[in-house]
Amino acid sequence: MSYRIEKDSLGEMQVPADKYWGAQTQRSLENFPIGWEKMPLEIIYALTTIKKAAATVNRRLGELDEKRAQAIIAAAEEILAGRWDDQFPLSVWQTGSGTQTNMNVNEVIAALANRQAGEKWVHPNDHVNRSQSSNDVFPSAMHMVAAKAMQEGLLPALDAAIQTMKRLEEENAGTIKIGRTHLQDATPLYFSQEISAWRVMLESNRRQLTAAMPGLLELALGGTAVGSGLNAPPGFGEAAAAEIAALTGLPFVSAANKFHSLSAKDELVFAHGALKALAANWMKIADDIRWLAAGPRANLAEIRIPANEPGSSIMPGKVNPTQCEAMTMAAAQVMGNDVTVGIAASQGRFQLNVYMPVLIYNVLQSCRLLTDATLSFNQRCLAGLQADKEKMDQYLQQSLMLVTALNPHIGYDKAAAAAKKAYAENITLRQAVMDLGYLSGEEFDRLVRPERMV
């Protein structure tokens, strides 16, 4: 492999000749051979969008000449088009400020701009990073990717699942089944009512995610190193946020207090709390469906779910609730990620949080897992869910908890005695009530009407 010599403030570094990054990227690559988790491309693209916006604003404010601004913008557009994804190799496990990834982007943009000009006239710090610091750029990129992942990925996926739930409610509006609490028989309800709880859970999650958006739409740009805005011209933060809003289509604004933006990450903690709440609800919904579909002959088997693939390498004909299993595993990961996000956000000592790469890596993974799992679960499980109405009616008629309807007429103690006798002697509730002399058969039939109990 051939190399070229690049320099930074620490001296010379050998960089592979076919790479566009510079000395600082190479140092990070060599100093942090940790794990296989690379900085997500979403972060790279957000940083590149910031560089493009900054060049535009710096030119407008007289901080950058037209030629260099255009060169930076053109280089940024090449990166955003996906042409140079292989130029961003750094690990998540690097400096906690994300400085090395910011410099990776600065160096590649400068090199691409210089390649077009045939000379080194665009500097990664002096020009590409002008009016910025890693300390305000990386937090801004974090908010940008989190807002985009939620607004353009997760919320539409959630909306589709909610619509499927609404359809299932309509299809099962008149189907009565036995309820269950503590994994024991309870009083009846409509299957549509059971589904409605799932739907409202998702609708509640949607409101929680939406409530997190305003904080994510605030950008730290303009704060530079510690929040004071040193070396950024007046109005840079506001103008850069407006430019980013125009480039992304999301209503980003400049954060009112940049000291808060650099040192605290509470908006991301709040947003991830909403992700954790969604994960918890999907865990419950997927588990409900897994149990209700358990069988097909030796368990509840109240519903049928799509058979997407063979379930066993040894038992022919076995079909497993694989979408439920995938969803619950994704939910477990998100819940674990929430611990990391909370710990990372708590480490904002003095003027800067230095756990930012791991924080945004976990937020992005949670968004991606929940988006993909929601889409897959909706398409490959919910959409094909069907009630076994005969099985539901069978359980309904066998349930001892129908005796609850008799409480106002014979009292709790007598109703309990009837239920216990029916269970012990394996007879019907009707027969038990008659044997105990509490009611006649005609009176029982008039009072115990499941359709009046829902």
Q: For residues 240 and 56, give the distance between their C-alpha atoms in angstroms, rounded to a whole number.
A: 8
- Mean of the pLDDT values across residues 234-255? 98
Comparing CA positions, the residue from 327, 315, 140, 274 lying closest to residue 219 is 140
**Which of 1-5, 97-101, 383-387 has the weakest average pLDDT?**
1-5
Say yes or no to pLDDT of 240 above 90: yes
- With beta carbons less than 8 A apart as the criterion, state whether 221 and 240 touch: yes
**How many angstroms separate the CA atoms of 269 and 284, rounded?**
22
Q: Residue 13 has which token pair? A: 């570094």
Q: What's residue 227's pLDDT?
A: 98
**Contact yes or no for 266/143 (Cβ under 8 A):** no
Q: Residue written as tokens 């309800």?
A: 189
- pLDDT tens digit string along 405-447? 999 999 999 999 999 999 999 999 999 999 999 999 999 999 9
Q: Which two tokens stand for residue 354?
A: 């230095």
| Predicted local confidence at residue 117, as pLDDT | 80
pLDDT tens across 61-75, in order?
999 999 999 999 999
The model carries a pTM of 0.96
Is the confidence at residue 342, as pLDDT, over 90?
yes
Task: For the chain, give the longest Cα–Cα distance.
Answer: 103
Which stretches within 297-348 are classed as H helix? 322-345
What's residue 1's pLDDT?
Answer: 87
Asked whether the beta carbons of 177 and 394 are under 8 A apart, the reply is no
Q: In sequence order, what are the residues at sequence separation of 6 or more whose Cβ sits closer than 8 angstroms to the Cβ of residue 367?
A: 146, 149, 150, 153, 154, 275
Query: Does the structure show a pLDDT above 90 at 274?
Result: yes
Residue 94 has pLDDT above 90, yes or no: yes
Query: Residue 317: left if φ>0, alpha if ψ -120 to 50, beta else—which one?
Result: left
Task: Give the whole-angstrom CA distance, residue 339 versus residue 309.
Answer: 34
187 contacts 181 by C-beta, under 8 angstroms: no
The per-residue pLDDT for 119 is 86
From the list 387, 382, 378, the residue with the least C-alpha distance to 300 is: 387
Could you read off the pLDDT of 176-200 as tens digits, one per residue?
Answer: 999 999 999 999 999 999 999 999 9
What pLDDT is recorded for position 372? 98
Q: Which backbone phi and psi does 5 adopt, to 5 degrees?
A: -100, 125
Please give the DSSP secondary-structure letter assigned to residue 91.
B
What is the predicted pLDDT for the residue at 99?
98
Q: What percent of the chain has pLDDT over 90?
A: 98
Residues 6+ apart with CB under 8 A from 222: 136, 229, 232, 236, 237, 238, 240, 254, 258
Mean pLDDT of the chain: 97
145-172 confidence digits (pLDDT tens): 999 999 999 999 999 999 999 999 999 9
Q: What is the mean pLDDT of residues 311-327?
A: 94
Q: Supply the pLDDT for residue 132.
A: 98
**Cα–Cα distances in angstroms (integers) from residue 136 to residues 18, 146, 298, in the given order:** 31, 16, 59
10-42: pLDDT as tens digits: 999 999 999 999 999 999 999 999 999 999 999
pLDDT tens-digit map of 34-62: 999 999 999 999 999 999 999 999 999 99
Structure token pair of residue 254: 């400049």
> How many Cβ atoms are within 10 Å of 256's Cβ, its own excluded?
8
Give the model's pLDDT for residue 118.
82
Cα–Cα separations (whole angstroms), residue 91 to 28, 144, 306, 337: 8, 20, 40, 18
Q: Cα–Cα distance between 237 and 58 in angstroms, integer?
A: 11
Q: State the pLDDT at residue 250.
A: 98
Pairing relation of β-strands 253-254 and 176-181?
Answer: unpaired
Q: Burial-class residue 230 by CB neighbours within 10 Å (0-12, 13-18, 19+).
A: exposed
- Pick the more confident residue, 216 or 348: 216
Of all residues in the chain, what percent carry a pLDDT higher than 70? 100
Active site residues: 182, 312
User: How many residues are there in the chain?
Assistant: 454
Give the model's pLDDT for residue 200.
98
